[in-house]
Structure 1
Amino acid sequence: MALHLRHAPLALRLASLRPLAPSPLAASRLLLFALPQNAASPWRILSRPRALATAAAEADNAGAGADGDGFFSEESTSWKSLGVSDRLASALNGAGLARPSLVQAACIPHVLTTNDVIVAAETGSGKTHGYLVPLIEKLCSESFSTEDISSQNIAQGTPNIALVLCPNVMLCEQVVRMANSLVDESGEPLKCAAAVCGPKGWPTVWPDILVATPASLLNYLFDYDPEKRRRERFLRSVKFIDLAP
């Protein structure tokens, strides 16, 4: 399951889930939710259970998808048709991703246009690129640069970054490789990703996408930062959070 949150570094708004409309591009066993901005405290969900419904209808395994095995979307579905820019679409093609998967086709438009989204699908269905692609698109967009960078951040030289939290070191390293494989014409990553996990320390140069396990992030923000400077700068910088499965 992948959870994408916007402007929520301190509180995960997990209550009041609102199912999205069914999509014909849905993959088998795909769950897709949008979380409203005015959701209640995340802790209330523990004492006030809510029923969750699938936001996309389950497709038959036989014949699902353009390739017949339920992975790729229809041939008429392109990265650009999902709202991805020419620059990022070119990088995806260069990385061997000529067409989105069913899961990516179902979730990318919602991640691009909705503040908070939950995606749940089977392993190997393409969830990682399902949140990385819109994340990089948002970081590259001119509207993000002009609207979301505060004057305080500019004055203090604080970057705006995205945070991806993974349950283990192996997945962190995989996410970093996948993000950095999306390169421009010069061979440089569109947005630089770095991991804070295992033996890897805090990066000397702030990345655009910081990937970490929860334990490593807490260690480097608290145990190695007695004056709280790194912690304060980090909290001002984070614009998007993705919780990977």
Structure 2
Amino acid sequence: MSNPSENAAPQENGAPENTANSGRKSSSQRNRRGRGNKASGGAPWSVAQFEVPEEAGKTRFHDLDLDERLMHGIADAGFKYCSPIQAASLPHTLRGNDVIGKAQTGTGKTAAFLITIFNDLLANPIEEERYAGEPRALIIAPTRELVVQIGDDARQLGKHCGLNVVTLIGGMDYQKQLDRLASDLVDIVVATPGRLLDFENRRDIYLDQVELLVIDEADRMLDMGFIPQVKRIVRSTPKKTHRQTLLFSATFTEDIIRLTEQWTLDPVRVEIEPESVATDTVDQKVYLVESQDKFKVLRNIVQQKDAKSVIVFANRRDETRRLFERLCKSGIKCGILSGEIPQNKRSRTLQQFKDGEIACLVATDVAGRGIHVDGVSHVVNYTLPEEPEDYVHRIGRTGRAGATGTSISFACEDDAFLLPAIEAELGMKLNCEQPPEELLG
């Protein structure tokens, strides 16, 4: 956790003079307040081909007056009705308002801010000359996996929009990312803070033309010590009166609230409680198991017929490595996602898991934030998380997209004391039980 005093920076006054921009001609920055939302279709596809009946209590994407090219991508993705966070935030964000949203992963918040970005950029094309390395929208996320996932979602939703999306992450070849950034005018950049600053420090990217800024998983940024870097990035963008800012966080601590006051202008606050996400579609079990029996129970769970796709969470990198090696020795084909694994290998492993080539992943919380895979049947908490919010994030990997899933947590003499805080976070009591006999054999 970063020092709270670091988060008490003075009120943001917009981008100071940036020596990285010297000698570079800039197009004029428009004030974004009061911009319109006109659709500008023209594609042969028609929204009339995408029929979604009105339903009481639900908001259709049809009801939001979105650009037809964006609606085409929404239709291809199979989205019909807004999720709660989308229904609560989109009417405000589409009008240009700043929004701070409290929502867990798996609630549809990514699509909410991507739809806002695409619709705004399509409705307000830039007529004057533009230059390489000048994104119109910037999305910052704390982990490489999450950046990659947001980039993939953006390309899916925006595939008919003609806008260029570039992802910038550490652990991957800088020159290849630079080539993608410089090959065409870039509209949307999705990046981790450190790699983004690398590009800015080398004058390969300029943030003074950013019209929409998204800060995703702000609480995780704070936990990982990224806030000083994020502050530098925000100061490189236009004043908050000249950009739209969307900030999402799983929790609203005092530090997060203080940051939102610095970075946003008269924001609309939207809160989606975790109970609606964590408990409706996930069968949560807690097994009371001794430390020496944990691996045996895990191995038997993974080998069950209904365990078609399993993610196993542990708290530390060395623990995930040990579990991965023991599962492999037991003849179980699995992968590992942790900070010590090179990014290109992590990307391949995650793709293998999505494609069903491996049925088991062992992951840490940081790596697990980027796992957005439909059809995960089981999540196993080999060790209980030390932060209650991480429990909700972990079990949110299953029970997605309307499916049901199973969460199994091991509670032993070393970590059972963490259960009350998790129950307080969930707002419910977790039933603890002995593992079934077949899992102890």
Aligned to 2:15: 10
In the alignment, does 2:158 pair up with 1:180?
no
Q: Do the aligned residues in 2 keep the contact of 1:181 with 1:189 (CA within 8 Å)?
A: no
The match for 1:196 among 149, 157, 168 is 168
User: Partner letter of residue 164 of structure 1?
Assistant: I
**Distance in 1 of aligned mates of 2:190 and 2:76:** 23
Tell me the alpha carbon deviations over residues 182-222 of structure 1, each in whole angstroms, 9 at most, x when there is no partner. Answer: 255xxx55422111112153322342110101111111111
Aligned to 2:61: 79
Indicate the larger mover: 154-163 or 120-129: 154-163
What aligned pairs does 1:1-245 form with structure 2 within 5 A after superposition? 10=15, 76-141=58-123, 144-145=124-125, 149=126, 151=128, 154=129, 161-183=136-158, 188=160, 190-198=162-170, 199-200=172-173, 201-202=177-178, 203-205=181-183, 206-222=185-201, 224-225=202-203, 230-231=204-205, 234-245=206-217
**Distance in 1 of aligned mates of 2:70 and 2:130:** 29
Tell me the alpha carbon deviations over residues 99-125 of structure 1, each in whole angstroms, 9 at most, x when there is no partner. Answer: 211110110111111332111112211
Note closer, same or farther for the CA distance 1:125–1:158 as it changes in structure 2 (3 Å cut).
closer
Tell me the alpha carbon deviations over residues 39-65 of structure 1, each in whole angstroms, 9 at most, x when there is no partner. Answer: xxxxxxxxxxxxxxxxxxxxxxxxxxx
Unpaired stretches in structure 2, ≥5 consecutive residues: 1-12, 17-32, 34-54, 218-441
Q: Do the aligned residues in 1 keep the contact of 2:163 with 2:187 (CA within 8 Å)?
A: yes
Normalized per residue, which structure has more helix? 2
Q: Do the aligned residues in 1 keep the contact of 2:93 with 2:116 (CA within 8 Å)?
A: yes
TM-score norm. by structure 1 comes to 0.58
Note closer, same or farther for the CA distance 1:97–1:155 as it changes in structure 2 (3 Å cut).
closer
User: Partner letter of residue 209 of structure 2?
Assistant: S
Aligned length: 161
Q: Do the aligned residues in 1 keep the contact of 2:122 with 2:161 (CA within 8 Å)?
A: no
Q: Which has the larger radius of gyration?
A: 2
In structure 2, the residue corresponding to 1:236 is in which secondary structure? coil
**Distance in 2 of aligned mates of 1:121 and 1:155:** 35
Deviation at 1:78, TM superposition (A): 1.1
**Distance in 1 of aligned mates of 2:87 and 2:95:** 14
**Distance in 1 of aligned mates of 2:154 and 2:213:** 15
Q: Which has the higher contact order (CA 8 A, sep 6+)?
A: 1
Unpaired stretches in structure 1, ≥5 consecutive residues: 1-7, 12-36, 38-72
Deviation at 1:237, TM superposition (A): 2.6
Deviation at 1:9, TM superposition (A): 6.6
Note closer, same or farther for the CA distance 1:166–1:101 as it changes in structure 2 (3 Å cut).
same
**Distance in 2 of aligned mates of 1:85 and 1:155:** 23
Deviation at 1:239, TM superposition (A): 1.4
User: Partner letter of residue 113 of structure 1?
Assistant: R
Q: Do the aligned residues in 2 keep the contact of 1:164 with 1:243 (CA within 8 Å)?
A: yes
